[in-house]
Amino acid sequence: MVIAMEPLSALDESFLHLETEFSQMHIGSVAIFEGPPPGYDELCAMVDSKLAQVPRYRQKVRFVPLAVGRPRWVDDPHFNLSYHLRHTALPSPGSEEQLRNLVGRVMAQHLDRARPLWEMWIAEGLEEGRWALVSKVHHCMVDGIAGSDLLTVILDRERDAAPPAGDEWLPRPEPNRVELLARGLAELANPMEVVHTVESAVRAPRQFAERLMAAGQGLVSMRGLVRRTPPFSINGPLGPHRRWAWARTRLSDVKTAREALGGSVNDVVLAVVTNGFRALLESRGEQVDDRVIRTLVPVSVRAPSARGTPDNRVSAMFAELPIGIADPEERLSSIHAQMQNLKESKGALAGEALTSLSGFAPPMLLALGERVAAHVGQRNVNTVTTNVPGPQFPLYAAGRRLLEAFPYVPLAGNVRIGVAIFSYDGGLNFGVTGDYDTAPDLDVLCDGIEDGLEQLLELARDSASSPSAAPRPEPAPR
C-alpha cells in the first residue's frame, strides 16, 4: 500500500527538474491493435478496472514550499479518468505516417503537473482496420522496465479475460502547504537516504565495502566522459516540436545474427543502431571515417523482487558507437568488446552510486543542479539508446489483440535524436525521436537500422552455408 504523502526518490525528482520549456520528460509507447476499435466507454471501463493495481495513476505531485523537502505523491481528490483517457481519429486514409505524425504532436505537449502525470490516446482509423493506443507517462513515475511491467497490468493476457473486481477508491485528504512544509522540515532533520546508507553499512559491512570499491572502479572507467564529444548535426539546441519514426525487426533475426557472429542480443542491437547513424550522417554529408558517437545506455538495476514497483531504478553506461567502421561484422565485434569492458569496469554501478549520492543533496540544490545539467551537462553525449525487454506473449485490450508496440524516448539537453527499443511477442521494434526542426530525415536512420540487421543476417547465412568457416566463439549471455 502506498504511504500517504510518500516522497519521490532523488532519481525520480531529478526527472522533474530536467524538464524545460523545450524538453518534455515523459516516456511513452504506441500500441497497435487489431480491429474493430472498442468504444470509448468500453476502454474506459477496462482501464478503470485496473487502476487499483497502479495507485500512482490516481496521484499527483505536490512540491514542498521553499523546496525544503522532497516533492510528495498525494491522492488527487478531483481525479477524472476521462481527462487522462482521450479519443481521436486519424484522417483518411489513416496511414502509418499519419499515426507517427500524431505521436510527434502528442508527445511534444507537456503533461499537466496539477494532475496525475499520464495520458492515453485512443486513435481510431488506422489503415487495415487497426487502431492505436498512444500512452505517455512522466519519467518521474516509471523507468522503462516499470513501464513495460505496467503494460502487462493495464492490458489483459487473455482475449476474454474477466474484469477484475472494482475498487471503492476514496482519495485521502490532500495536504495543505503548512503540512507539506512541516513534513519537509522533518525530512531535513532526518534524511532517509543517509539513514538507509548507514543501516546498510552496519548490517552488511563486507558487502557494502565491496559495492563501494566496485563503484570506485567504475568511476575511474568513466573518466573519459570529461572529454566533450565531437560536433555532429545530431547535437544542438532543441525546439518545441518533435518528430517520431520507427523501424521493425524480429527478435529471432537478432538472435540468428548473434548465434552465428557472436556477442549478445544487445550488442547486435547497438550494431544496427550504429549502422543507422552512419547512414544518417553520410546522407547529411558529414565525415564518419574514424569517428564514434557516444551514447548513454540506460541499465536497469531493478531487482527481481522490485518488478512492478512504479518508480525509477536505473543507472547508465556510456558506449561509443563506431560509425567509422564500414564492415558490419567488424562493427559488431568492436561493440561486443567494448560492452564487455564496460561491464567488467563496473560502469553501471558507478552511475548508480553517483545517482544515489544525489540523495544527500538538499532538494533546493538538487533542483538547481539538475537544471544546470540539462543545459550544459549533456554535451558529453551524442544520443541515448535504451533497450527494454517486453512480454513475449500476446496481450489484449477489450478483447482486441496487441499486434505490435513501439517505444518513445524523450529528448533533453543537447541531444536531438534518441532511440528506444522494445521487444514484444517476437517483434523487436525501434522508436526514434527527433527534434522537429533539425531531424526531418529520421526515415534514413530507421532504414539504416533495418539494413544493418539484414547485413548481419546475410553474413550469418553465408557462415551457415560455408563448410570451411572457422567456428564462431560461444556467444556471451544476454
Q: What is the pLDDT of residues 171-208, one digit of tens each?
A: 999 999 888 888 878 776 655 544 454 454 455 555 54
DSSP string covering 436-452, please?
TTT-TTHHHHHHHHHHH
How far lies 347's CA from each of 56, 297, 298, 325, 476, in Å? Answer: 31, 11, 11, 24, 18
Query: Is the bond leading into 36 cis (omega within 30 degrees of zero)?
Result: yes
pLDDT of residue 5: 81
pLDDT of residue 117: 94
pLDDT of residue 237 exceeding 80 = yes
Backbone torsions φ then ψ of 126, nearest 5 degrees: -70, 140
pLDDT of residue 307 exceeding 50 = no
User: Edge-to-edge, what's the strand order for the sheet holding 6-7?
Assistant: 6-7, 72-75, 59-62
Active site residue 139: yes
DSSP string covering 367-399, please?
HHHHHHHHHHGGGG-SEEEEEEE--SS--EETT
User: Of these residues, 26, 84, 138, 139, which one is catalytic?
Assistant: 139
pLDDT of residue 226: 46
| Of 154-163, 214-223, 421-430, highest mean pLDDT | 421-430
239 is written with which cell numbers? 525546439
pLDDT of residue 227 exceeding 80 = no
CA-nearest of 229, 297, 298, 286 to 441 is 286
pLDDT of residue 464: 79
> Chain-wide mean pLDDT for the chain?
81
pLDDT of residue 168: 84
- 53 pLDDT band, cuts 50/70/90, is confident
Where b means 16+ CB within 10 Å and e means fewer, 125-134 reads bbeeebbbbb
**Rounded to two decimals, what is the model's pTM?**
0.83
Beta-strand pair 396-397/400-408: antiparallel
pLDDT-wise least confident of 96-110, 316-330, 365-379: 365-379
- The residues, ordered by sequence, that sit 6+ positions from 9 with a Cβ below 8 Å of its Cβ are 311, 312, 359
pLDDT-wise least confident of 22-26, 85-89, 185-189, 395-399: 185-189
65 is written with which cell numbers? 514550499
CA-nearest of 110, 135, 111 to 22 is 110
pLDDT of residue 351: 44
pLDDT of residue 167: 74
Q: Could you tell me the sign of the dihedral formed by the alpha carbons of 30, 35, 39, 45, in that order?
A: negative
pLDDT of residue 229 exceeding 80 = no
Sequence-ordered alpha helix ranges (H) in 4-95: 10-18, 40-50, 81-84
400 is written with which cell numbers? 482486441
pLDDT of residue 232: 93
pLDDT-wise least confident of 296-305, 315-324, 326-335, 345-354: 345-354
pLDDT of residue 372 exceeding 80 = no
98 is written with which cell numbers? 499519419
* Greatest C-alpha distance within the chain: 77
pLDDT of residue 333: 96
Place of cell 523545450: 22
pLDDT of residue 457 exceeding 60 = yes
- 474 pLDDT band, cuts 50/70/90, is very low
Round to whole Å and give the CA distance between 374 and 183: 28
Query: Is the bond leading into 93 cis (omega within 30 degrees of zero)?
Result: yes
